[in-house]
Chains A and B, each alone.
Chain A
């Protein structure tokens, strides 16, 4: 079918719009007067309607059409946002999601949309239309809001440090004023002589163009008291009314912060239109080609050094730099902000907390932190699980919180940040935390450990039991989580992505889950080692230390070679035996290089023939024919074009 080639683009678009609609609706719920949000949400619904009609999905287009009607009335202020409207719109959005998913699976399905469409239509007629006058004044109010930019804040901070004070001046000029534009220009100039004008609303340009009624706002700093300024402004020509207020700086800063915290950065969504959709496979291809280029460069380098030509060396060096830049850019193209995952959660928190009768606030930081697309695609579900755990089991019901002298509003903080070659995602709640004693008890009861072992464990260590399959401390099995099939699935997924997960918790104060993920799945840092003329790559993340050993220090205990490392016995492994490599040298060497690897709590020393440099390598699959080979996670191509295998340390150690 002709349509099918557009289907994937359509699906992508739908998901994007769904996201926008969900986010904007949440935002609108908090600030119903925000016109830009209103505009965005309307545009999204409109596009969605158009696209689904074009693709011939009638149910979807009918549904979105009904939504668009309601949103249109909201936008034109003919309707006022009520909790009933939001609820209906959210319901409609959920239905849209179901429809879109069905379409993705190849059929629109027989989902009944008529009820929701009815509900939406009902909304259109139920509310009396408010007076148009009110609408106009509302419009004005928004116009008169002073919005400070980053630079404005810096300026304000600088000048207040010099002793000046910030004032908001609301000016109304006389009704029959001629040349309003010129008059406001004069007023602004005069004000600038008294102090420093930071901003006006509408903007100075709009004022000069007479794009305002009679009233406008000015933010300025001056070395005067409020009263002094008030009296001076009141004497301006053609000014009918002047109202000077001194806003509290703290409040301004607070406002600024909350605005920064809202997930959707408005400037970003505006810039969002300048993107190109690219199939991820094309990027993989591009990455392969860049890899080839790196290899060719290495050959060129080798040739250059044998010719000893300075001119050639220069060119080779330049090609080298360009190649690395190119590689980095391609990698960057694959990166996406974690925001794309985080943005699902405000809705999740809203819905679940409503359902459970809890009051929960979600704070999101670091949404701009970037991760490889592959990781982004995979991390969503585990994150949802963790969030649900926090909402359901972490945050206590309101009454309990009150009894425990905690604020009634629970708080979940979602934070992402980069730490070296990793990205850390943190989910913290201020709920009841884990009962470590209970975890202990349960671990012993399930035969996972012994009382003696537990006695020596740290709390964090004990909490690791919660990641084991079938382990759940929830007493009451709810619909959401606590069926004991939670955290082990999460952990498996995170490990499959090359990451790690851990929990810290303090009873009564809350718990925090840390997920550590590699920046990219395509490139990892490895240590290259030589074993019997063969080169293998060991992922650096497993390497604890590299030690030097004399053969005399090796002892045999129960047929196992060991040595003493940090005052403990370290089992030693000769990799050639594991890998079946012939001609290994290390039985003849005077000094042995031992790579100490650490997998979870286990440590093992691998004796290699020779250490080669650390390298960032591109991971490649061995292909479907070989499938998974025990002990090998993949392969990579070295600078000289040879293939080196990457060891699967979890398998080997």
Chain B
């Protein structure tokens, strides 16, 4: 795949952390990054991983805790906690992450298919893994799947049954 050094061979991603692991989403999907300084309004009977809704300059935006979404250990909000507002299927959704690391450029050729389970998350929700220098491993999220409503609803049912 080492052809001409054109733009299309790279993509920019926003890298964030959940615990010690690093994840990334395509920068084209990330709208903004906010501090979690306003109260979240809990929505009764919403899926368990939905923390509630916030007011983003007049628009009501649901907030998803990615830790709960992926069944990781839940952590309290810390100093570095951020909300990445992403747009998925024309809906704005806020993802709570432990911290935002950087925006970086990854070579498309470096993206490898995900193993069945990466960092304890089902490969279904991921779109690949990138290995950077000094053995850094970044997991790319497939937001359409990770934050899809129908999927989310199934998950709610599953959670309740357990």
Contacts and interface: CB of A to CB of B under 8 A. Distances in A.
A624 B89 contact: yes
B53 A643 contact: yes
A642 B42 CA distance: 11
Contacts of B92: 623
A240 B70 CA distance: 101
Nearest to B52: A643
A622 B91 contact: no
Contacts of A630: 45
Nearest to B43: A629
Interface in A528-582: 534, 578-581
Interface string B38-72: 11011111100010111101111110000000000
Interface string B142-162: 000001010010000000000
B41 A534 contact: yes
Contacts of B90: 624
Given A623-B60, A625-B62, A580 B45 contact: yes
Given A622-B60, A642-B41, A643-B55, 7 more contacts: A534-B42, A622-B43, A623-B60, A624-B89, A635-B60, A643-B41, A645-B41
A308 interface: no
B93 interface: yes
Contacts of B53: 622-623, 626, 635, 643
Given A580-B45, A622-B43, A637-B55, A627 B149 contact: yes
A580 B57 CA distance: 28
Contacts of A631: 44-45
A577 B147 CA distance: 29
Contacts of A580: 44-45
A632 B44 CA distance: 8
A292 interface: yes
Contact of B45 (A292, A629, A637): A629
A581 B41 CA distance: 11
A625 B91 contact: yes
A627 B88 CA distance: 14
29 contacts: A288-B57, A288-B58, A289-B58, A291-B58, A295-B58, A580-B44, A580-B45, A581-B44, A620-B59, A621-B60, A623-B60, A624-B89, A624-B149, A625-B62, A625-B152, A626-B50, A626-B53, A626-B62, A627-B149, A629-B43, A630-B45, A632-B43, A632-B45, A637-B58, A637-B60, A643-B53, A643-B60, A644-B41, A645-B44
Among B42, B43, B44, the one with the most A-chain Cβ atoms within 10 Å of its Cβ is B44
A641 interface: yes
Contacts of B57: 288, 292
Contacts of A295: 55, 58
Nearest to A624: B91
A637 B41 CA distance: 11
Given A620-B60, A625-B147, A641 B43 contact: no
Interface in B5-45: 38-39, 41-45
Nearest to A627: B149
Contacts of A620: 58-60
Contacts of A627: 149
Contacts of B61: 623
Nearest to B38: A641
Nearest to A626: B62
Contact of B62 (A291, A292, A623, A632): A623
B66 to A, nearest CB: 14
Nearest to A625: B91
Contact of B93 (A289, A625, A629): A625
B62 A622 contact: yes
Contacts of B39: 642
Interface size class of A (residues with CB under 8 A): 20 to 34
Nearest to A291: B58
B62 A641 contact: no
Nearest to B58: A288
A534 B38 CA distance: 14
A528 B131 CA distance: 52
B112 to A, nearest CB: 30
A635 B41 contact: yes
Contacts of B59: 288, 620, 623
Nearest to B47: A626
Interface in A276-313: 288-289, 291-292, 295
Among B60, B62, B89, B147, the one with the most A-chain Cβ atoms within 10 Å of its Cβ is B60
Contact of B43 (A621, A624, A626, A637): A626
Contact of A641 (B46, B52, B55, B89): B55
B58 A292 contact: yes
Among B58, B59, B62, B88, the one with the most A-chain Cβ atoms within 10 Å of its Cβ is B58
Contacts of A645: 41, 43-44
A295 B54 CA distance: 14
Nearest to A643: B41
Contacts of B46: 626, 629
In order of increasing CB-CB distance, the 5 nearest A-B pairs are A288-B58, A643-B41, A579-B44, A624-B91, A625-B91
Among A288, A580, A627, the one with the most B-chain Cβ atoms within 10 Å of its Cβ is A627
B34 to A, nearest CB: 13
Contacts of A637: 55, 58, 60
B117 to A, nearest CB: 26
Nearest to B94: A625
A632 B45 CA distance: 9
Nearest to A535: B41
Interface string A577-594: 011110000000000000
A631 B44 CA distance: 8
B84 to A, nearest CB: 15
Contacts of A629: 43-46
A25 to B, nearest CB: 44
Contacts of B45: 580, 629-632
Contacts of B41: 534, 635, 642-645
Nearest to B59: A288
A47 B43 CA distance: 53
Contact of A625 (B44, B54, B149): B149
A288 B44 CA distance: 25
Contacts of B42: 534
Interface string A607-636: 000000000000011111111011110010
A625 to B, nearest CB: 4
Contacts of B93: 625
Interface string A517-536: 00000000000000000100
A93 B29 CA distance: 49
A155 B40 CA distance: 65
Contacts of B38: 641-642
A645 B93 CA distance: 18
